[in-house]
Amino acid sequence: MSVCIDLRGVRCTLAGRTVLDIERLVVGEGERIALVGHNGAGKSTLLRVLSGFTRPTAGQVSVLGARLDTPLPPARLRALRCEAGQVLQGLHLVPRLSALENVLIGSLGRVTGWRSWVRRYPAHECERAHAALAQVGMQGKASMRTDGLSGGERQKVAIARLLVQAPRLILADEPTAALDPAAAQEICRVLGTATAGATLVSVVHNTALLPLLAERVIGLQQGRIVFDLPQAQLDDVQLAALYGGPSIPVRQRVDEHFKRRQHRWLHTDASAGRSPCR
pLDDT for 189-216, tens place per residue?
888 887 788 999 999 888 888 998 899 9
User: Apex CA 30: angle with CA 83 and CA 224, to 5°?
Assistant: 90
Helices (H), 17-86: 43-51, 74-83
End-to-end CA distance of the chain: 41
Helices (H), the chain: 43-51, 74-83, 99-104, 114-118, 123-135, 151-165, 181-194, 210-213, 236-243, 250-260
Strand-pairing partners, residue 26, are 6
Rounded Cα distance between 240 and 230, Å, is: 17
3-state secondary structure at position 60? strand
Which pLDDT score, from 0 to 100, does residue 8 have? Answer: 97
Average pLDDT over the chain, rounded to whole? 84
Strand 224-230 vs strand 216-221: parallel, antiparallel, or unpaired?
antiparallel
- Which residue in 198, 270, 229, 222 sits closest to 40, CA to CA? 222
Q: How confident is the model at residue 184 (pLDDT cuts 50, 70, 90)?
A: confident
Q: Which residues of 142-152 are buried (b: 16+ CB within 10 A; e: fewer)?
A: bebbbbebebb
Which pLDDT score, from 0 to 100, does residue 245 have? Answer: 57
Instruction: Tell the burial category of 124 from Cβ atoms under 10 Å away from its Cβ (0-12, 13-18, 19+).
Output: exposed
Instruction: Give the predicted TM-score (pTM) of the model.
Output: 0.81
Q: What percent of the chain is predicted at pLDDT more than 90? A: 41
Which pLDDT score, from 0 to 100, does residue 75 have? Answer: 86
**What backbone torsions phi and psi does residue 96 show, to the nearest 5 degrees?**
-80, -10
Mean pLDDT over 33-48 rounds to 92
